[in-house]
């Protein structure tokens, strides 16, 4: 039974089936960890989640664009300052391209500082010919390919909390401490990116931004006091998959008395856990953060409207983001009926496009990859669907890294299948590299101009 606002509690989800829940070998140890996490400081504040809600409200009404992007899954091994800085640089570059291209504010949300848990299509996977429990993220177990390493360990929830805290700390320092200053727009272009066609196009755009800033200065605008030039907001998000972790970090806001999941500013429910009678929808119906729901090709218009009724009963613009991930082959047929149904329901939602998860393919050698052309094709279908229905294509949801990895095929420099092994480092899904991400941002900015 679904709860109502008056019967919901942070633990009411426990009465319902939680899809994708790992097989914890020791429930008592897990409960003890949940208790410990419950006593630790929140990672974000309710007021910040409300500020993001307000920004997403602007997206909902067609006055801003959402850029949500980051790793498929963050690694416990990779928490270095350079790794965080390089991801941030590409995110800042992409948002500059989108904001300048579309002349609209861009709301930046990272898949970062908590994106540690993965849903999987099957309970087992084959690694080097051996069948093992599927890897579910470092918050659950190690990725080492042995059966012992894959046993879920609740202590990892605590490790995840501290890694999220240190990542968020650095992210706050970078975004508020001068690194994201718009007058540094040139310095975000790294060498391996700058040498590519998209990198050169970015150099030209950065020149134009600098000229615009000098012009503003010339006519007497004091740029030093304009906070928005020197600081940016980069909000955090992750898939709210492990409800023990999310419950433990839920706090009552002292200002409003409302519950907020303080593990991140925004949380989303995955395509595999969005069942209306399930634990995930129950949990997220009660916290007040902005919430996302992934909608794959099996989502019907009725499913989408029922989810919207349940997750946004007060019809708050910005509360709910539907992240469509239909696949390039289905988007033009599957998405318009959902857009129409939501419009008829009059429940406000942000529509974002995840062009990554519906376009996974395997190479003959078994590598998971995605082709840049399929990613673009889904994005084109997403924009075309919105044009057809007359709704606002609110944003994109991407998996990328700042590094020069070789995980996705194609792009303006045509990464080939035989190059995938050069630097294939992801722990789960293939990510766009820095060049491909920037290339994609330019193309999305062009699509936005056609709206
Ligand atoms: C993801 O975003 O990494 C993911 C697993 O997505 P989906 O739920 O859309 O498959
Ligand atoms: Co993924």
Summarised one tens digit per residue, pLDDT across range 395-428 is 999 999 988 999 999 998 899 999 999 999 999 9
Chain segment 24-57, per-residue pLDDT in tens: 999 999 999 999 999 999 999 999 999 999 999 9
Least confident among 51-60, 355-364, 376-385, 408-417? 408-417
Once rounded to an integer, what is the mean pLDDT over residues 362-386?
96
* Ligand 1, atom 1, residue with closest C-alpha: 72
Give the CA diameter of the chain.
68
Alpha helices in 146-288 (DSSP H): 155-176, 191-194, 197-218, 227-230, 243-248, 279-286
Q: How far is the CA of 303 from the centre of ligand 1 (A)?
A: 18
Which protein residues touch ligand 1 with a CB less than 6 Å away?
72, 119, 239, 270-272, 294, 325, 357
Question: What is the atom index within ligand 1 of the atom nearest the CA of 119?
Answer: 5
Pocket test residue of 271, 278, 292 for ligand 1, highest count of atoms within 8 A of CB: 271
Q: Which residue would you say has higher pLDDT here, 357 or 228?
A: 357
Pair of tokens at residue 84: 């965080």
Question: Quick one: pLDDT at residue 3?
Answer: 72
Is the CB of residue 289 less than 8 Å from the CB of residue 268?
A: no
Question: Quick one: pLDDT at residue 1?
Answer: 59
**30: number of Cβ within 10 Å:** 19
Q: Are strands 250-252 and 259-261 parallel, antiparallel or unpaired?
A: antiparallel
Pocket test residue of 357, 360, 429 for ligand 1, highest count of atoms within 8 A of CB: 357
> pLDDT tier at 190 (50, 70, 90 boundaries)?
confident
Whether 6 has a pLDDT exceeding 90, the answer reads no
Is the CB of residue 216 less than 8 Å from the CB of residue 223?
A: yes
**39: number of Cβ within 10 Å:** 7
Question: What is the atom index within ligand 1 of the atom nearest the CA of 73?
Answer: 3
Q: Measured between alpha carbons, how far is 210 from 279 in angstroms, rounded to an integer? A: 50
Q: How far is the CA of 279 from the centre of ligand 1 (A)?
A: 17
Q: How far is the CA of 237 from the centre of ligand 1 (A)?
A: 13
Q: How far is the CA of 57 from the centre of ligand 1 (A)?
A: 24
Chain segment 156-180, per-residue pLDDT in tens: 999 999 999 999 999 999 999 889 9
Whether 311 has a pLDDT exceeding 80, the answer reads yes
Once rounded to an integer, what is the mean pLDDT over residues 226-234?
91
Question: Quick one: pLDDT at residue 195?
Answer: 86
Q: How far is the CA of 270 from the centre of ligand 1 (A)?
A: 6
Q: How far is the CA of 56 from the centre of ligand 1 (A)?
A: 21
86: nearest Cα among 433, 451, 371, 450: 433
Pocket test residue of 135, 272, 375 for ligand 1, highest count of atoms within 8 A of CB: 272
Least confident among 23-32, 47-56, 218-227, 302-311? 218-227
Is the CB of residue 205 less than 8 Å from the CB of residue 253?
A: no
Whether 84 has a pLDDT exceeding 70, the answer reads yes
Alpha helices in 251-300 (DSSP H): 279-286
Is the CB of residue 253 less than 8 Å from the CB of residue 10?
A: no
Share of the chain above pLDDT 70, in %: 99
Question: What is the atom index within ligand 1 of the atom nearest the CA of 429?
Answer: 3
Average pLDDT over the chain reads 95
């Amino acid at each position: 039974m679904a709860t109502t606002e008056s019967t919901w509690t942070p633990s009411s989800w426990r009465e319902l089936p939680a899809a994708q829940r790992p097989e914890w070998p020791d429930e008592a140890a897990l409960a003890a960890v949940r208790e410990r996490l419950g006593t630790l400081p929140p990672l974000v504040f309710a007021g910040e989640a409300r500020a993001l809600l307000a920004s997403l409200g602007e997206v909902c009404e067609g006055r801003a664009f959402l850029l949500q992007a980051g790793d498929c899954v963050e690694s416990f091994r990779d928490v270095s300052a350079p790794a965080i800085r390089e991801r941030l640089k590409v995110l800042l570059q992409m948002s500059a391209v989108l904001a300048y291209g579309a002349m609209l504010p861009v709301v930046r949300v990272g898949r970062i500082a908590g994106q540690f848990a993965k849903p999987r299509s099957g309970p087992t996977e084959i690694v080097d010919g051996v069948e093992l429990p599927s890897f579910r993220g470092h918050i659950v177990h190690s990725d080492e390919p042995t059966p012992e390493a894959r046993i879920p360990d609740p202590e990892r929830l605590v490790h995840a909390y501290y890694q999220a805290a240190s990542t968020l700390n650095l992210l706050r320092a970078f975004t508020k401490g001068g690194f994201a200053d718009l007058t540094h727009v040139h310095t975000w272009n790294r060498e391996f990116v700058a040498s590519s066609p998209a990198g050169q196009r970015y150099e030209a755009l950065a020149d134009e931004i600098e000229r615009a800033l000098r012009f503003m200065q010339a006519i007497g605008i004091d740029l030093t006091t304009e906070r928005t030039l020197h600081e940016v907001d980069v909000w955090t998000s992750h898939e709210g998959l492990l409800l023990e972790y999310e419950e433990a970090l839920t706090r009552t806001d002292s200002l409003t008395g409302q519950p907020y999941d303080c593990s991140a500013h925004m949380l989303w429910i995955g395509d595999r856990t969005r069942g209306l009678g399930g634990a995930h929808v129950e949990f997220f119906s009660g916290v007040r953060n902005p919430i996302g729901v992934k909608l794959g090709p099996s989502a019907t218009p009725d499913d989408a409207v029922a989810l919207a009724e349940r997750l946004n009963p007060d019809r708050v613009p910005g509360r709910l983001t539907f992240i469509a991930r239909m696949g390039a082959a289905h988007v033009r047929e599957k998405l318009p009926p959902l857009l129409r149904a939501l419009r008829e329901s009059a429940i406000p939602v942000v529509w974002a496009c995840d062009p990554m998860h519906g376009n996974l393919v395997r190479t003959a050698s078994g590598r998971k990859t995605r082709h840049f052309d399929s990613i673009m094709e889904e994005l084109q279908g997403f924009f075309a669907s919105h044009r057809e229905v007359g709704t606002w294509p609110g944003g994109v949801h991407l998996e990328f890294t700042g590094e020069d990895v070789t995980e996705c095929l194609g792009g303006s420099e045509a990464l080939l299948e035989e190059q995938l092994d050069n630097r294939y480092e992801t722990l789960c899904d293939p990510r766009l590299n820095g060049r491909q991400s920037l290339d994609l941002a330019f193309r999305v900015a062009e699509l936005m101009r056609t709206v």
